[in-house]
Amino acid sequence: MEWREREGVRWLEARLPGARAAFTTRVGGASTGDFASLNLGILTDDSATAVRENRARAAAALGIDPAGVLLGRQVHGSEVLVRDAPPRPSPYLERAGGPLEVDGQATAAAGLTPLVFVADCLPIAVAGSGGVAVLHAGWRGLAAGIVDRGVGAVGATAAAIGPGIGPCCYEVGVEVLAAFGGGEGIGSGRRLDLVAVARGALAAAGVGEVESAHLCTSCEPELFFSHRRDRGRTGRQGGYAWIEERDG
């Protein structure tokens, strides 16, 4: 992955087969206080006007059409929605209606950009012959099989895992550890390594090419929002993915 910056907005960008993924930071937005500064989550106590401005800035920096962004109301589940057209009106541009409860977005259409919001959970982008998908993967989603569903939705052969809370900061209850049966990613002291769990799930689903940011959101307050570190009063980063359009 490479660090990129444009007009004050800073993000990590990954190349996938025929696609790209971008994982934003909190840098470069209009929000203030606990949500400073590039908060993309409108379902927070931040100003909706500021969030809409932040979303517009992120889209402009990434060079994507904001009207083509695909998102859902995330519920820590395993549903992945495949779309070939953006919803109208756009939930990215305005708070209209109620987006479907879904934790993954997938498409085979150039010009559309799947998006998930995160503040400790992993954003995982996957790509393959069937297009590109991005997944909101906390422990519940990982345990429920969201990786397998996302990989299956697009025939994924490659993945990029963005920043999320690391095992250094993620101590969980025994019920969480039990959800993974004592397997991959469980460390000493009730620590859970979400990246290790995700890598295991990707490998089991047949994805051989996996890149990870290796950055802990809780450890980097200048770069990332963190739900656990900030005790729930915080903003959201974004994980975006899109198909690269080719000339000719």
pLDDT of residue 248: 45
Q: Which of 48-57, 81-90, 150-159 has the lowest mean pLDDT?
A: 81-90
The residue-averaged pLDDT of 142-149 equals 98
Asked: is 12-243 a CATH 3.60.140.10 domain? The reply is yes
3-state SS string over the chain?
A: CEEEEECCEEEEEEEECCEEEEEECCCCCCCCHHHCCCCCCCCCCCCHHHHHHHHHHHHHHHCCCHHHEECCECCCCCCEEEECCCCCCCCCCCCCCCCCECCEEEECCCCCEEEEEECCCEEEEEEECCEEEEEEECHHHHHHCHHHHHHHHHCEEEEEECCECCCCCCECCHHHHHHCCCCCCECHHHEECHHHHHHHHHHHCCCCEEEECCCECCCCCCCCCCCCCCCCCCCCEEEEEEECCCCC
What is the per-residue pLDDT across 187-233, written as a single tens digit (0 to 9) for each? 677 899 999 999 999 999 999 999 999 999 999 999 999 999 999 99
User: What percent of the chain clears pLDDT 70, i.e. is strictly above it?
Assistant: 97
Residue extents of the structural domains in the chain? 12-243
